[in-house]
């Protein structure tokens, strides 16, 4: 193997490793919750927020929900034990799909940033995100569409 082939193969290995790491971190961060849709409500079991890794139970800060009714996912944040928020992941600037980053939603297109309750923090977006009314009982969370 000559020097150029060696550099090419090292570069490909590096790219592959980086891409795999990114995919793996995205997969673990964005959890799509199982849900059912009836009477204009999306039902999500509270247990969808529970994550068990290596026999250790932790809570997810948020879960994502996809429905056939909407073109974008809904991000449901658990703000405290009985306090949730649900925001549509459609940027109010030019309609790109937002990414989650901790307690924030970030737009990959032009960098707008929103809180977990959908309030604009950084432009160019000027309007807050669409939000949904949430109710809950001991077992489930209901997002009113
Ligand atoms: Fe989101 Fe422009 S589309 S900032």
Ligand 1 centroid distance, CA of 109 (Å):
5
Residues 85/116, Cβ–Cβ less than 8 Å: yes
In this structure, the dihedral spanned by the alpha carbons of residues 92, 98, 102 and 103, taken in order and rounded to 10 degrees, is 20
- 55-110: pLDDT as tens digits: 898 889 999 999 988 999 999 999 988 899 999 999 999 999 999 999 999 999 99
Contacting residues for 123 by C-beta, under 8 A, at least 6 apart: 112
Closest atom of ligand 1 to CA, residue 112:
4
C-beta separation of 110 from 94 below 8 A: yes
Is the beta carbon of 127 within 6 A of some atom in ligand 1? no
Is the Cβ atom of 109 under 6 angstroms away from ligand 1?
yes
For residue 101, the model assigns a pLDDT of 93
Ligand 1 lined by 124 (C-beta under 6 Å):
yes
Residue 23 has pLDDT above 80, yes or no: no
**How many whole angstroms separate alpha carbon 131 and alpha carbon 76?**
10
Q: 34 pLDDT band (50/70/90 cuts)?
A: confident
Ligand 1 pocket test: which of 90, 91, 97, 106 has the largest number of ligand atoms within 8 Å of its C-beta?
91
**pLDDT above 50 (res 17):** no
The alpha carbon of 88 and the centre of ligand 1 are apart by a number of angstroms equal to 14
Tell me the pTM: 0.77
Whether omega for the bond prior to residue 133 falls within 30 degrees of 0, making it cis, is no
What does the block give as tokens for 129?
Answer: 């995100």
Per-residue pLDDT at 18 exceeds 70: no
């Amino acid at each position: 193997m000559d020097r150029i082939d060696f550099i090419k193969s090292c570069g490909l290995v590096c790219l592959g490793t980086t891409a795999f790491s990114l995919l793996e971190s995205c997969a673990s961060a964005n959890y799509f919750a199982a849900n059912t849709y009836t009477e204009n409500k999306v039902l999500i079991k509270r247990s969808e927020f529970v994550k068990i890794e290596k026999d250790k139970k932790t809570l997810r800060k948020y879960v994502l929900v996809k429905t056939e009714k909407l073109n974008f996912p809904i991000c449901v944040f658990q703000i405290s034990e009985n306090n949730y928020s649900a925001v549509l992941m459609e940027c109010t600037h030019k309609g790109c799909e937002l990414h989650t980053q901790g307690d924030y939603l970030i737009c990959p297109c032009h960098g707008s940033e929103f809180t977990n309750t959908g309030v604009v923090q950084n432009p160019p977006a000027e309007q807050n995100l669409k939000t949904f009314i949430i109710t809950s009982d001991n077992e489930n969370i209901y997002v009113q569409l």
